Amino acid sequence: MVRAAVDAGVTRMITMGVDLEHSQKGLELAHQHTEVFAGIGHYPTETSAPDVEAMRRLASDERVVAIGEVGLDFQDTPGPPRDAQIQRLDTLFSLAVEMDLPVSIHNRAAATEVAAAIKAHPGLRGAMHYFALEWDWAERFLELGFFLSFAGLVTRPSRNALREVVKRCPPDRLLLETDSPYGNAHNRMGVPNRPAYLLDTATLVAQLRGINLDELAKIERDNALALFRKMT
């Protein structure tokens, strides 16, 4: 899978963790492949609270470049109550600032609360993962210093407002992701998503922004290295 991605031109990947077990597995993968880096995360709908001590231990590894995925999900029920999610996110944001690592943020139906949480943590930096909102929210997160990370969703013909965001996003804040095995591009519905399929999204994003793939690749590389500073 990593080989196929590299062959397709995806030369660096971050595998985000959703709980301790998967964060650990992602980290093992990152030690097996020079192209793969890891995020240590705790998904907002996890029933148990994050083990911050264990996360801190894992995150100190040289192959860990982010705290993620973390965030708020007020739509996917049954999840922990909103208050509990907000409290956990506060702890996880503090960990990210303490370790000087960027966060990858999952936000579903909680943009107001996510923005407030970011604001409460000066020095926090990161990416809005799987960005799916319209320009007014894009602008808000850009103002907070965040990057917008776009996935296969932008390739779906119905997503005109999101395509507008792709066009207007400042070049130094634009990131791409697959969210694989989820987040399929329009032409790959029904098959598990793969890192190599990032090219589906990249091709459309380059087209929307009126640049070629090589130019987009340079932007992506520069942005990813600027945000995920431990990535080499």
Q: For Zn ion, which stretch binds (CB under 5 A), given 6-14, 78-86, 98-106, 137-145?
A: 98-106
Return the SS3 of 15: strand
CB of 153 to Zn ion, least distance (A): 11
Q: Closer CB to Zn ion, residue 22 or residue 106? A: 106
Do residues 193 and 180 lie in contact, with contact meaning Cβ atoms separated by under 8 Å?
yes
Contact set for Zn ion, span 135-164 (CB under 5 A):
none
What are the E-state strand segments in the chain? Answer: 13-15, 36-40, 64-73, 103-108, 126-128, 147-150, 174-176
Q: How far is CA 58 from CA 25, 51, 91, 102, in A?
A: 11, 11, 16, 15
Q: Which residue has the tokens 């922990």?
A: 80
CB of 214 to Zn ion, least distance (A): 29
CB of 130 to Zn ion, least distance (A): 5
Peptide bond into 139 cis (omega under 30): no
Q: Closer CB to Zn ion, residue 9 or residue 192? A: 192
Token pair of 16, please? 């985000």
# of chain residues touching Zn ion (CB under 5 A): 1
Q: For Zn ion, which stretch binds (CB under 5 A), given 52-60, 88-96, 101-109, 217-225?
A: 101-109
**42 scored as a contact of Zn ion (CB under 5 A):** no
**106 scored as a contact of Zn ion (CB under 5 A):** yes
Q: For Zn ion, which stretch binds (CB under 5 A), given 2-10, 103-111, 194-202, 223-231?
A: 103-111
Q: Closer CB to Zn ion, residue 38 or residue 206? A: 38
H-type helices in 100-212, by residue range? Answer: 111-119, 135-143, 160-168, 198-209
**22 scored as a contact of Zn ion (CB under 5 A):** no
Do residues 214 and 190 lie in contact, with contact meaning Cβ atoms separated by under 8 Å?
no
CB of 227 to Zn ion, least distance (A): 17
Site residues (vs Zn ion, CB under 5 A): 106
